[in-house]
Structure 1
Amino acid sequence: MPIVAIFVHLTSAANAPRMRRSGIRAASCGQGGARGVYCFPVLPSHTLTHQWLRELARFGSRGGLVAVHVRLDDAQPVLVGHYTDPAQASVSAAEAVQRIAALDDPRGWEVFVPRAIRPREIHRIRTAPQVTGWRYKPDAHGVRPCTCYVCQKRGGYGARRLRERLPHPQDGPPPPPRILLARLAKAGTPGDPAALQEILYWFGMRRRGPLAQLAHLASHPDPVVREDLVWAVTRWSTPGVADLLAALADDPDPYVREAAEKARTPASDR
């Protein structure tokens, strides 16, 4: 009988019936553009096992988050490392458990399975405590929070009071689209990267935008501009955003591809 390692995958409660039926799809984007599933070993510490709960909950979930316990063969190849590691180690599932269990502080570590999880590999699905874990980053408690548009989730608990107490110099409201488009025209072709990044920052605060006038930036020679274009249009409901993100998912720059794949993945499946 093969030895198995047990991991936990956190996801929206609304996904639980589908996962019981069909398993966990390879929807997340990992290192090198690989598609798979993020999870974490089941450790003796309940708090460390479910440490990602509060951070994932910031991005929204339908019906709260649940913990999906997954059994993998010890020899299953996975990637393991801290979420800030640019190159995570390729090891077996058993070694990933051993590495994380041996750490003095495993907060922020993660395991990436580069494939879908089969239904028979799901051991159980249980409710998870919604107040466990860290937010933003480990040890963020007690550190002055950043109140910029990117770091703060609009509508989150206490977000408005926090912005009033600690206003950010680049906080909204954004300039009107006509002003931003005038700045875009003034930036020229292909355009100064710094000026374009500022324009895209302000456009990223909007729910809709002039996609046709910005689409040409997908071929800008600076990959930073192309990556910022991804984040600017991610939340837009404007028709054509999905096609633009699909094109950027094939960008020659790995960071642009990663950003586009993440933007196309539902938050609850990342």
Structure 2
Amino acid sequence: MAIFVHLTSAGSAARIRRAGVRAESRGQGGVRGVYCFPVLPSYQLTHQWLRELARFGTRGGLVAVHVRLDDEQPVLVGHYTHRAEGAQQRVPAAEAVRRIGALDDPRGWEVFLPRAVTAREVHRIRTAPQVVGWRYRPDAHGTRPCTCGACRVRGEYGGRRMRDRLAHPLDGPPPPVPVLLARIAAAGDPSDPGDPALLRETLGWFGLRRRGPVGALAPLAAHPDPAVREAVVWAVCGWSTPGVGALLDRLADDPDPEVREAVEAVRDDD
């Protein structure tokens, strides 16, 4: 039997003892399942993901759920950066343990079980020190953290103090909507290429808002540059304004695959 550790909120411990671990995470290809990591001789490496997971909020801290899987249970194994590339490999659980154990530096590697964990497979649940592991990425210690809107986590502990100390050039209130609409108008008519770089930059500012002028951005869904059409997806996906769903429906049938994938990604996160 291969033994793995799954890190989760302490508030879920009682439910896990009773019913196992739910398949709530999405892995490579959008498959639902459970992330875990082999139990290695090194305690630090076994629990390396703890500080990174703690950044996203927990209920009562994190606990380590030890899981026993059959050696032949298929799992996905690879570095977390391989997930977006579709390069994680499907192997038996025992082979995943062997591969990670043989690495000189297994930091950032992960195992994904493409199903739920049953209560019978839960071996034990242990408390874990909350200061083990890396944050942001392996070897991030000693490098300046990025505080841009894409990298920071909203509501993260200590986030405001870090932003005050390491202000990002894009920090501060976004330009008013009339200013942004004037920039779109200055970029050219949506029926011609205009200035795609200016349009993408302006749409990035719109993406920081909770609501916006859907009707004013809708013509850009027909822009000849697919990068601009994809930027429209990311600009409006977080809005609560009526009409966003219809605009995303239109972009879901876009001839460019990257635009269609962007729509699929934002809808998977809903």
Matched, 1:263 2:260: no
Q: Cα gap change, 1:63/1:229 in structure 2, threshold over 3 Å: closer, same or farther?
A: farther
Q: Tell me, in whole angstroms, the C-alpha distance in 2 between the residues paired with 1:68 and 1:216.
A: 50
Which is further off, 74-83 or 33-42? 33-42
Larger radius of gyration: 2
Which is further off, 76-85 or 252-261? 252-261
Which is further off, 77-86 or 164-173? 164-173
Which residue number in structure 1 is paired with residue 205 of structure 2?
A: 202
Q: CA deviation at 1:109?
A: 0.4
Which is further off, 230-239 or 68-77? 230-239
Runs (5+) with no aligned partner, structure 1: 265-270
Select which of 3, 6, 10 maps to 1:13: 10
Q: Cα gap change, 1:46/1:179 in structure 2, threshold over 3 Å: closer, same or farther?
A: same
- Report how many aligned residue pairs link the two structures: 260
Q: Tell me, in whole angstroms, the C-alpha distance in 2 between the residues paired with 1:243 and 1:61.
A: 35
Query: Does the 8 A contact of 2:234 with 2:262 survive in 1?
Result: no
Which is further off, 112-121 or 245-254? 245-254
Which residue number in structure 2 is paired with residue 22 of structure 1?
A: 19
Query: Does the 8 A contact of 2:57 with 2:156 survive in 1?
Result: no
Which residue number in structure 2 is paired with residue 98 of structure 1?
A: 98
Which residue number in structure 2 is paired with residue 50 of structure 1?
A: 47
Q: Tell me, in whole angstroms, the C-alpha distance in 2 between the residues paired with 1:80 and 1:143.
A: 28
Q: CA deviation at 1:110?
A: 0.3
Which is further off, 13-22 or 240-249? 240-249
CA deviation vs aligned residue, 1:144-185 (integer Å, no higher than 9, x gap): 222222223355444334334433222232223343344445
Which residue number in structure 2 is paired with residue 267 of structure 1?
A: none
TM-score, normalised by the number of residues in structure 2: 0.77
Which residue number in structure 1 is paired with residue 111 of structure 2?
A: 111
Q: CA deviation at 1:35?
A: 2.0
Q: CA deviation at 1:27?
A: 2.2
Query: Does the 8 A contact of 2:214 with 2:236 survive in 1?
Result: no
Q: CA deviation at 1:92?
A: 0.7
Q: Tell me, in whole angstroms, the C-alpha distance in 2 between the residues paired with 1:219 and 1:88.
A: 35
Q: CA deviation at 1:132?
A: 0.8
Query: Does the 8 A contact of 1:227 with 1:259 survive in 2?
Result: no
TM-score, normalised by the number of residues in structure 1: 0.77
Q: Tell me, in whole angstroms, the C-alpha distance in 2 between the residues paired with 1:65 and 1:247.
A: 42
Q: Percent identity?
A: 70
Runs (5+) with no aligned partner, structure 2: none
Instruction: Quote the RMSD (CA, aligned, Å).
Output: 3.5
Question: Secondary structure of the residue that 2:170 maps to in structure 1?
Answer: coil
Q: CA deviation at 1:121?
A: 1.5
Question: Secondary structure of the residue that 2:269 maps to in structure 1?
Answer: helix
Higher RCO structure, 1 or 2 (CA under 8 Å, sep 6+): 1
CA deviation vs aligned residue, 1:114-142 (integer Å, no higher than 9, x gap): 12222222222222221111001111111
Q: Tell me, in whole angstroms, the C-alpha distance in 1 between the residues paired with 2:229 and 2:196.
A: 10
Q: Cα gap change, 1:177/1:12 in structure 2, threshold over 3 Å: closer, same or farther?
A: farther
Q: Tell me, in whole angstroms, the C-alpha distance in 2 between the residues paired with 1:119 and 1:250.
A: 42
Q: Tell me, in whole angstroms, the C-alpha distance in 1 between the residues paired with 2:57 and 2:207.
A: 19
Select which of 81, 86, 109 maps to 1:84: 81
Q: Tell me, in whole angstroms, the C-alpha distance in 2 between the residues paired with 1:174 and 1:216.
A: 22
Q: Cα gap change, 1:90/1:248 in structure 2, threshold over 3 Å: closer, same or farther?
A: farther
CA deviation vs aligned residue, 1:7-49 (integer Å, no higher than 9, x gap): 1111222333333333222222222222221111111111111
CA deviation vs aligned residue, 1:56-103 (integer Å, no higher than 9, x gap): 111112222222221111101111111112201211100100111111
Q: Tell me, in whole angstroms, the C-alpha distance in 1 between the residues paired with 2:135 and 2:203.
A: 26
Which is further off, 69-78 or 151-160? 151-160
Q: Tell me, in whole angstroms, the C-alpha distance in 2 between the residues paired with 1:81 and 1:180.
A: 42
Query: Does the 8 A contact of 1:5 with 1:73 survive in 2?
Result: yes
